[in-house]
């Protein structure tokens, strides 16, 4: 078995790498080891795993800052950034639903009451306004 090249100072280097928004694989390349080796270090060296966990919010902060710069400066692709955040940090679009204690008594064979239709249209308008979609006409 090949001896490990792990050094305790890699903990701080990993945190610094993450603070620059770098992926752990970029860190691996910077210390000339494989992705597999770095993941083995995470399993074998608790202090390295702790450093990785400490670096995660720093990486997210870096990406948030870059996203803010992109929005303010108008350069960049928001859709790509959003997709990246979803993939890297597990972000999802949260759609909140309000619970209403209303019984609409839906019957597929019955005609829709005007007040029920008005309620549905009202809710659609609120949703579209909240998520910047074109209004219902």
pLDDT tens digits, 3-37: 568 999 999 999 999 999 999 999 999 999 999 99
Tokens representing 34 are 């494989």
66 & 51 share domain: yes
- pLDDT tens per residue across span 41-70: 999 999 999 999 999 999 988 888 888 887
Burial 16-36 (b: 16+ CB within 10 A, else e): ebbeebbebeebbeebebeee
103 & 137 share domain: yes
Assigned domain for 121 exists: yes
Integer Cα distance of 33 and 85 in angstroms: 26
Q: How many structural domains comprise the chain?
A: 2
136 & 83 share domain: no
Q: How much is the pTM?
A: 0.60
49 & 101 share domain: no
Assigned domain for 110 exists: yes
CA angle 111/113/118 to nearest 5° reads: 130
Closest-CA residue to 42 (of 34, 32, 33, 52): 52
Confidence (pLDDT) at 1? 44
How many CA atoms within 13 Å lie on the side-chain side of 29?
Answer: 5
Residue span of the structural domain in which 22 resides: 10-89
109 & 76 share domain: no
Residue 132 pLDDT class (50, 70, 90 cuts): low
21 & 60 share domain: yes
Closest-CA residue to 42 (of 55, 58, 57, 32): 55
Mean pLDDT of 99-107: 53
Q: Which of 26-34's residues contact partners 24+ apart within 8 Å by CB, and which partners?
A: 31/5, 32/5, 33/5
């Amino acid at each position: 078995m090949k001896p490990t090249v792990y050094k305790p100072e890699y903990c701080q280097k990993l945190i610094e790498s993450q603070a620059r928004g770098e992926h752990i694989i970029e860190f691996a390349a910077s210390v000339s080891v494989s992705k597999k080796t770095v993941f083995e270090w995470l399993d074998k060296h608790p202090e390295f795993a702790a450093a990785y966990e400490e670096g995660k919010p720093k990486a997210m902060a870096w990406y948030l800052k870059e996203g803010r710069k992109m929005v303010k400066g108008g350069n960049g692709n928001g859709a790509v950034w959003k997709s990246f955040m979803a993939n890297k940090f597990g972000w999802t679009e949260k759609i909140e639903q309000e619970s209403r204690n209303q019984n609409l008594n839906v019957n597929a064979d019955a005609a829709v009451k005007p007040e029920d239709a008005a309620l549905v249209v009202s809710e659609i308008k609120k949703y579209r306004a909240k998520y910047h979609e074109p209004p219902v006409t």
